[in-house]
Amino acid sequence: MTATAKPVWLDIGPITQIEPGMAATLPVEGGEEIAVFHTMGGEFYALVNKCPHKQGPLSQGIVHGDSVSCPLHNWRISLKSGKALGDDEGCTPTIPLKVDAGRIYLLREAVVPGKAPPLASALAA
Ligand code: FES
């Protein structure tokens, strides 16, 4: 008999750490740096902090609506799907995120697949 493992959510801090229209980064020991975005509409999204074009730091891009413009060559990346928009092609991995009682949580196994607790530090705005 097997039991389905319950998802483990990592508390990465209060929502107030990230101003609307901004992003913060989360260094991950043994994994990819994550960018956490707060849209002007009040939504939160997490993506690996690498543009699918040439790995530009998406956390330094401009957030508009539910997309971000890469600071290097201005590709627009969907915060919902991680996909490049318009004529560009490519996809950045998304990290499942939830907000509960004013705090942000990331799905642990998506942060560092198959590894133990991965967080190196808290969010850096
Ligand atoms: S690296 Fe992001 S658009 Fe080129």
Tell me the residue type at 6.
K
**Does residue 114 surpass a pLDDT of 80?**
no
Q: How far apart are CA 22 and CA 68, in angstroms?
A: 10
Of 47, 54, 85, the residue with max ligand 1 atoms within 8 A of its CB, to mutate for a pocket test, comes to 54
Domains of the chain listed by start with CATH number? 20-110 (2.102.10.10)
27-31, 34-38, 75-79, 109-113: segment of lowest average pLDDT? 109-113
pLDDT value for 82 = 98
Q: Given a cut of 90, is residue 37 above it in pLDDT?
A: yes
Ligand 1 atom nearest the C-alpha of 70 is: 2
Whole-number Å distance, alpha carbon 50 to ligand 1 midpoint, is 9
Q: From the CA of 75, how far away is ligand 1's center (Å)?
A: 6
Residue 84, ligand 1, Cβ within 6 A: no
- Residue 112 banded pLDDT, cuts 50, 70, 90: confident
**In the predicted structure, residue 52 carries a pLDDT above the cut 60:** yes
* pTM, to two decimals: 0.87
4 pLDDT more than 80:
no
| Residue 118 pLDDT | 45
Cα distances (angstroms) measured from residue 8 to each of 34, 67, 74, 114? 17, 27, 35, 12
Q: Which long-range contacts (CB under 8 A, 24 or more apart) does 51-57 make?
A: 51/75, 51/77, 51/90, 51/92, 52/77, 52/82, 52/84, 52/89, 52/90, 52/91, 52/92, 53/84, 53/88, 53/90, 57/25
Contact 124, 18 (CB under 8 A): no
